[in-house]
Amino acid sequence: MAIRQIRLKGDEILSKKAKPIEKVDEKIKELAQDMLDTMYQNDGIGLAACQVGMLKDLIVYDVAYVEENGTKEPVVMINPKIKSRSKNMVVVEEGCLSFPDEFKEVTRHEKVTVEYLDIDGNKKVKHAKGMEAIVIQHETDHTEGITFVERD
């Protein structure tokens, strides 16, 4: 278990686009595990690789952890791509581990379908709604160099 340092607002890496991961090797697996450890350690529900200083197209999240108080259901998504979005929108107050003490209402799609590789490099499709859909949109924004404070 290794906790990595979280890059904070003003760090230029947060506005850069991540590079696709070509091979899911041990280094990527270690990075994903470190990101989860770092996220849990900081009471976050999602984290993108740029937030620990790596311009890799990788996100992790766990929405069960907050909602069900202690149950861990970590999700790792490699090269996540949102393939479809519901027309229906929802407004939720968001925060971000890179912006401590900042919260903002952001309008997001209620549902999204995302394609990604899992930690074993298998192609997956997820239909997400509710908090999970919001976290996926927030974290995939990070992989594009976009932070929630730029969203309305």
Chain residues binding Ni ion by CB under 5 A are 96
Rounded Cα gap, residues 30 and 41, in angstroms? 16
- Which CB sits closer to Ni ion, 28 or 134? 134
CB 31 within 8 A of CB 49: yes
Name the closest residue to Ni ion (Cβ).
Answer: 96
* Nearest one of 54, 73, 23 to 143, comparing CA atoms: 54
* Least distance from Ni ion to the Cβ atom of residue 122, Å: 26
* Least distance from Ni ion to the Cβ atom of residue 130, Å: 18
* Least distance from Ni ion to the Cβ atom of residue 100, Å: 11
Does residue 30 have an active-site annotation?
Answer: no
* Least distance from Ni ion to the Cβ atom of residue 89, Å: 19
- Which CB sits closer to Ni ion, 39 or 78? 39
Number of Cβ within 10 Å of residue 81's Cβ equals 13
- Write the CB contacts of 69 (distance below 8 Å, at least 6 apart in sequence): none
Indicate which residue of 73, 94, 139, 144 is catalytic: 139
- Which CB sits closer to Ni ion, 21 or 96? 96
- Which CB sits closer to Ni ion, 96 or 117? 96
Residue 102: both structure tokens together: 């900042």
* Nearest one of 127, 116, 101 to 24, comparing CA atoms: 116
Dihedral sign of CA atoms 66, 67, 68, 73 in order: negative
Q: Which residues are catalytic?
A: 139
